[in-house]
Amino acid sequence: MKKIFIPIFVLILSACNVNKTVSHKDIINTFGEYTSPDGSYELNVKTGKGSLIEYVITENATSKKYQPDRLFSDAMRWYFYWENDSRLWVHSSDIGLSLWKKDSGGVFKQVWANSDGKLNSQIPDEVYNHLPNMLKQRVKRN
């Protein structure tokens, strides 16, 4: 029993690394902290009240925190994706697809794909490939 317990314990400890830097190819669908590819932002994903996913984006240079106006259920399909230029895509099957990005004034904000038709053409393959098939049929990428 001890021989089995030690490797399992080591495996569990190694999986508990909560500050992860993700490559631009990684889909984030687990709880933890994730640094943007250029190091500008930190994403913290955790379970909130009532099994809602809570997340906060912190700008590392200023410690300014950004929070979404909508939360989503951990029972639905959800994921995040950091692009190289610190654009964060967020998808949840219960609230849809959005993008956190800097606007023309340099303000980091969330834009919803259904309210900005131009976003569809900007969806990276990594995000598009993980969308549910029903949504892929409605999203027209040019």
Task: Give residue limits of the domains in the chain.
Answer: 19-138
Give residue-wise pLDDT tens across range 53-102: 999 999 999 999 999 989 999 999 999 999 987 899 999 998 989 999 98
CA–CA distance, 98 with 116 (Å, rounded to integer): 10
CA–CA distance, 123 with 23 (Å, rounded to integer): 17
CA–CA distance, 53 with 70 (Å, rounded to integer): 10
Please choose, from the candidates 126, 106, 118, the residue with its C-alpha nearest in 3D space to the C-alpha of residue 142.
118
* pTM, to two decimals: 0.79
